[in-house]
């Protein structure tokens, strides 16, 4: 996802005003601290599944809690199981969601652990699930997290600061072949081998420790003609490193079937992606369950081969031009949603 984020804001989250006030401000862009991406569309898609008493909404990437706050405000019968791997995000969202505390259960976990989070909350199934992928704004905006090439900071990039692997370890210890793989596969960097070799030469003189040092190294490694277009030259390298450090794609591959396995019939799932790698995995997972798999040579559809999902979006939906203008960090967002129409096989 590069420098695009799910939400904007940090220290002020949860402070000032009622939940309804903040939701209204977020919808208009009047709240400068927090702009959840495609907020109204997410509520429109998920709310119909959350009207019955005791309905369970799982926010697998809680962040600052902006989407969850809007769902709780719009769906008074719903209770939230909020999941995040970032302990700081959990602390801040707990403060933000305090007005709904009797309907909120927060779990420190990776979103592939949604089944465990449901078990801890005493819920057999989820009626709605949201996955808002990528890096959240506090992680990007707080310079000491090391996600942004625009700030000088230690090379960290961990969403969960309790895990051992950091970007510094990847940059300074991975063989050139592995670095090339990471930058090409996850960063979609066409000059991955050039960047990896430049990193190898520099780290031979001493460890690369800061985001600024790495960003300058990448800029110098990329041909001058390419540097003049497509944004900051380091954005793809930073994306690749971040995905590697946080195992984002492998976790997402596990998350989608895990979440769908616990989605109730009539339940809905929405996934916000911010780059093609995430969106491709989501599209594939939804399509596999939204297809009649009856063998083509049979004259009638087999009941047990009928689709489990009904797609709620035509392809990937994009933010409106108005939202992109109000919240530039929404520009790369892609939204897909589906409804479970049959029990899981």
Binding site per annotation, positions for S-adenosyl-L-methionine: 65-67, 84, 111, 132, 139
Annotated binding-site residues read 65-67, 84, 111, 132, 139
Q: How far is residue 310's CA from residue 71's CA, in Å, rounded to a whole number?
A: 22
Secondary structure, 3-state, 282-311: HHHHHHHHCCCCCCCCCCCCCHHHCCCEEE
> In whole angstroms, what is the distance from residue 230 CA to residue 187 CA?
14
CB 82 within 8 A of CB 65: yes
Eight-state DSSP code of residue 317: B
DSSP 246-280: HTHHHHHHHHHHHHHHTEEEEEEEEEEESSHHHHH
| Lookup: tokens for 122 | 């005493």
Which helix (H) or strand (E) is 338 found in, with range?
A: strand 334-340
């Amino acid at each position: 996802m590069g420098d695009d984020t799910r939400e904007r804001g940090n220290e002020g989250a949860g402070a000032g005003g009622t939940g309804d006030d903040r939701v209204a401000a977020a919808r208009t862009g009047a709240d400068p601290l927090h702009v959840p991406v495609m907020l109204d569309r997410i509520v429109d898609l998920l709310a119909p599944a959350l009207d019955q008493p005791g309905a369970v909404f799982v926010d697998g990437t809680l962040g600052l809690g902006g989407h969850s706050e809007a769902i709780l405000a719009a769906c008074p019968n719903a209770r939230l199981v909020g999941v995040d791997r970032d302990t700081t995000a959990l602390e801040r969202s707990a403060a933000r969601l305090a007005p709904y505390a009797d309907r909120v259960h927060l779990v420190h976990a990776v979103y592939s652990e949604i089944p465990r989070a449901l078990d801890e909350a005493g819920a057999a199934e989820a009626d709605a699930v949201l996955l808002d992928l990528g890096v959240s704004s506090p992680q990007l905006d707080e310079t000491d997290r090391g996600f942004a090439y625009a700030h000088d900071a230690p090379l960290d990039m961990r969403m969960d600061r309790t895990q051992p692997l950091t970007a510094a370890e990847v940059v300074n210890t991975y063989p050139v072949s592995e670095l090339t793989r990471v930058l090409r596969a996850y960063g979609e960097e066409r000059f991955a081998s050039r960047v990896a070799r430049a990193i190898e030469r520099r780290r031979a003189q001493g460890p690369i420790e800061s985001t600024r040092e790495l960003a300058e190294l990448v800029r110098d490694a990329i041909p001058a003609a390419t540097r003049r277009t497509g944004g900051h030259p380091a954005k793809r390298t930073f994306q690749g490193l971040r995905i590697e450090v946080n195992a984002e794609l492998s976790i997402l591959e596990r998350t989608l079937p895990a979440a769908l396995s616990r989605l109730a019939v009539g339940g809905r799932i929405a996934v916000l992606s911010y780059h093609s790698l995430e969106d491709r995995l989501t599209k594939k997972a939804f399509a596999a369950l939204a297809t009649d798999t009856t063998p083509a040579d049979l004259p009638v559809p087999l009941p047990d081969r009928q689709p489990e999902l009904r797609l709620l979006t035509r392809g990937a939906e994009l933010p409106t031009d108005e939202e992109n203008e109000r919240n530039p960090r929404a520009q790369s967002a892609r939204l897909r949603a589906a409804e479970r129409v049959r029990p899981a096989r």
